[in-house]
Structure 1
Amino acid sequence: MQREPIEDQVAWRLARRASQLASIKAKKARDAAAAELMAQAARAAELRQTLESNNAKLAETQQAQAELIRNACPR
């Protein structure tokens, strides 16, 4: 007669452990996704900085080119 409550206890413990494992797995997945998002945000910031630097260099070069053209063709 005691067998049924023991089986119920075992089933309950297994279900609880399965739930714990699922929670752990979900947390790891969330942490991994958060880390990936942070890495992507850092990469995007790096790319924006590179773009701003390149744009500044381009503007400087274009300005120098325009100055050369003005000096080469005096009016």
Structure 2
Amino acid sequence: MELRSALRQAALARPAVLTAVLPGATRARLAVERELGDRRWPHAPSPAAADLLVLVGSPREEAPAWLDGTWTAL
């Protein structure tokens, strides 16, 4: 039990982050990337490997189709 608890705690301390960036959010994306680097949180190479999805920016009218697909893949 202690091993499982230690592994769970280690995984939650450094979640793999997938960043989804909407058009016009470059400044916010750079700020998010800087914060993730400061926290030493790894970038997820794919939705399946992600523990956390960070959506940067706000959709103008409705969410783009690729965002729905990304969310589903998580």
TM-score computed with the length of structure 1 as normaliser: 0.24
In proportion to residue count, which structure has more helix? Answer: 1
Q: Which has the higher strand share?
A: 2
Larger RCO, structures 1/2 (Cα 8 Å, 6+ apart): 2
Q: Please give the TM-score of this superposition, normalised by the length of structure 2.
A: 0.24
The structure with the largest alpha-carbon Rg is: 1
